Amino acid sequence: MSREIAIRAEALAQGKSLDTVLQERKAITRRNTLALPIALGLPLAAGAAGAVATSQSLTSWYKRLKKPTWNPPSAIFGPVWTTLYLMMGLASWLVWTRRDEQETEVHGALRWYGIQLGFNTLWSFIFFGLRRPDLALFDIAALWGTLLATIISFKRVRQVAALLLIPYFLWVSFASLLNTAIWWLNREK
């Protein structure tokens, strides 16, 4: 009942017929539904691109590096990153669905999201592809900062979207420490 009243009020306020408003809402719902697999697929694709660089060095170069005692087993990284990428995708979709109400904020938030996703992907190519943990430190610092900006901008649009990025932020913080430790332990190489 209250939903129907809200739709009628929206139609009246916009000077449109009830049928027109209902048609517009259906179109928005359809667009949002179609956008979800894209939003989920984008970070997964970025992760897959990074995995290409990772896989070439994982069994050879990375295996020979000195690592801290608190380095997780390699089998942990795939499931953790897959989960985080799906959470990132869902968060970006939740923000994107607000584009009609908060256009400027949504565009800004998604811009930060794209930048941090770029740094995320680039890190694998620097660390594993170039085999340069030292240079990867600069990238992961930029990732950390742009991810923080993404979380702040997502919070302005939709708080639950920002909350979905907190595990990712914590993992990147841990990865930053791990990157630093690996660089430090292997700096003479």
Task: Dump pLDDT digits (tens) for 120-164.
Answer: 999 999 999 999 999 999 999 999 999 999 999 999 999 999 999
CA 1, CA 6: separation in Å to the nearest integer? 9
At 13 the pLDDT is 65
At 33 the pLDDT is 83
Output 116 or 15, whichever has higher pLDDT.
Answer: 116
What is the number of other CB atoms lying within 10 angstroms of the CB of residue 48? 12
Dihedral angle, C-alpha 162, 35, 123, 125, nearest 10 °: 170
Output 87 or 34, whichever has higher pLDDT.
Answer: 87
* Residues 38-54 pLDDT 10s: 999 999 999 999 998 88
Q: Which domains does the chain have, with CATH numbers?
A: 35-185 (1.20.1260.100)
**Token pair of 125, please?**
């190519």
At 34 the pLDDT is 86
